[in-house]
Amino acid sequence: MKNILLSATAAAIAVSSLGAKTITLYQDKNSGAIYTKPGPDRIKLGTFVSAEESDTGYADTKKMAKGIKATVVKSKVKTLKISGKHYLGFTHINYADSKKDDISRFETRRNYLQVKAYWNSTDYARITLDTFQQYNDTGSKDDGSWLVRLKYAYIYLDEILPYTGIEFGQVHRPWIDWEEHHGWWYRSIAKTFVEEKKGAHLTNSADLGFNLKTKTDYFSSEIGLFNGEGYHDTTTEVNTDLSFEWRLTANLLGTGKKKVSMSDEYADISFLGQLNQNYQNYKTMNWYGIHGVYNNPMFLLAGIYVKSDNDGGEYEGKGWSVNGEFRPIKKWSILGRYDNWDVEKTGKYYTRTQWIAGAAYKYNKNVKFIGNLFYIDPSDKVSDDEETRYMFTAEVKW
């Protein structure tokens, strides 16, 4: 018993004397004594650290030694996952109208802060805040202040039906988030065609309602019922009917369950749309489209066609968009996109177009730099501003 106590004491003294470093211990076969150096009849026990080092880490131990207290996070769930995303940039706008002053400005286009609270391995609650600075068409700030929006606030329950989970609350709408993670990877410089103001401008990415998300190897879908106007529209009270929205995707290479990346090979064909019987100003607004994408580590090619009926209103029209990406060198990409939307509003028929061309460099897993040219021709028959944008972007994820 005495030998055991002496051995334990010796080990404790040896570890503490070396601070937070690891130590290799040896035990005498006959007496059971503990040593820090090898010798005759000594058996190597292994390499050890102190209990304090194991629990807090060397850096934290040093901080606490200086009187800095560790932060304790408490929650009623087992796991909290915190993440953020930032679109930081500089933009120069050159207007075709010589009477208008050009604009140069640094921008924080988007700052997302997200928390997911998991009570088991698959089910969770999510909240995402979106901070940004709002600009009007002339480039000046609307009110001189930063805005904060609630982007997402929902619970996700997995496998409520075979291969199907549900988002309930302020949730993803079926199309935009999917395209941003399969067909158009550059939300930091431009929204998708169906959302972009100078594109089709038919919908946005989040709304109040529910979204049923199905994933199998060769088929995936999102089908939901929503308020219809989107998470940041102020005309919700105008709508008397809910919006039925969908995405049905054939995952031709069996990637329907996978969270794909640019380095994966996948090929998808999707049918998408939205059905509103009473939209803004009590007009029917129904739109639908078909989208195809093929990606491999070397390149991406995607395209979409969309048709919208709005009883002759401002969302009446049809159009298409194509985009591509070429990755000739590791970490480098060359990207391009063309949007074409034919406006068919009663009494107004014109086409608005956009060109995007640029290059991207992946600095590390958290940061990507993008430089691009953005040419916008809002119409060829109305007085909207034609402009060229020169943009530099730092896309940050953590």
**Distance in angstroms (rounded) separating the CA atoms of residues 292 and 272:** 11
Any residues with CB less than 8 A from the CB of 327 and at least 6 apart, and which?
A: 262, 297, 298, 299, 333, 334
Q: The domain containing residue 39 runs over which residues?
A: 2-65
Nearest to 333 by CA among 225, 261, 247: 261
- The answer to whether 113 and 129 have CB atoms below 8 angstroms apart is yes
Encode pLDDT of 305-353 as tens digits.
Answer: 999 999 888 889 999 999 999 999 999 999 999 999 999 888 788 899 9
Encode pLDDT of 305-316 as tens digits.
Answer: 999 999 888 889
For residue 132, is pLDDT > 60? Answer: yes
Q: Are residues 9 and 111 in the same domain?
A: no
Q: Are residues 26 and 126 in the same domain?
A: no
Helix (H) or strand (E) holding 109: strand 103-118
Considering the domain boundaries, does residue 74 fall inside one?
Answer: no
In angstroms, the first-to-last Cα distance of the chain is: 53
- The torsion angles phi and psi of 107, rounded to 5 degrees, stand at -140, 145
Answer positive or negative: Cα dihedral of 89, 90, 96, 98.
positive
Residue 167 pLDDT = 98
Considering the domain boundaries, does residue 195 fall inside one?
Answer: yes
Q: How many domains does the chain contain in total?
A: 2
Considering the domain boundaries, does residue 72 fall inside one?
Answer: no
Identify the domain boundary among 43, 65, 87. 65
Considering the domain boundaries, does residue 70 fall inside one?
Answer: no
Considering the domain boundaries, does residue 71 fall inside one?
Answer: no
Considering the domain boundaries, does residue 335 fall inside one?
Answer: yes
For residue 11, is pLDDT > 50? Answer: no
- The answer to whether 70 and 60 have CB atoms below 8 angstroms apart is yes
Residue 382 pLDDT = 56
Q: Which residue has the tokens 């990346």?
A: 261
Q: Are residues 285 and 220 in the same domain?
A: yes
- Output 228 or 375, whichever has higher pLDDT: 375
Encode pLDDT of 223-274 as tens digits.
Answer: 999 998 888 775 545 556 899 999 999 999 999 999 999 999 999 999 999 9
Q: Are residues 121 and 54 in the same domain?
A: no
Residue 289, domain CATH: 2.40.160.10
**Distance in angstroms (rounded) separating the CA atoms of residues 176 and 183:** 10
What global pTM score does this model have?
A: 0.79
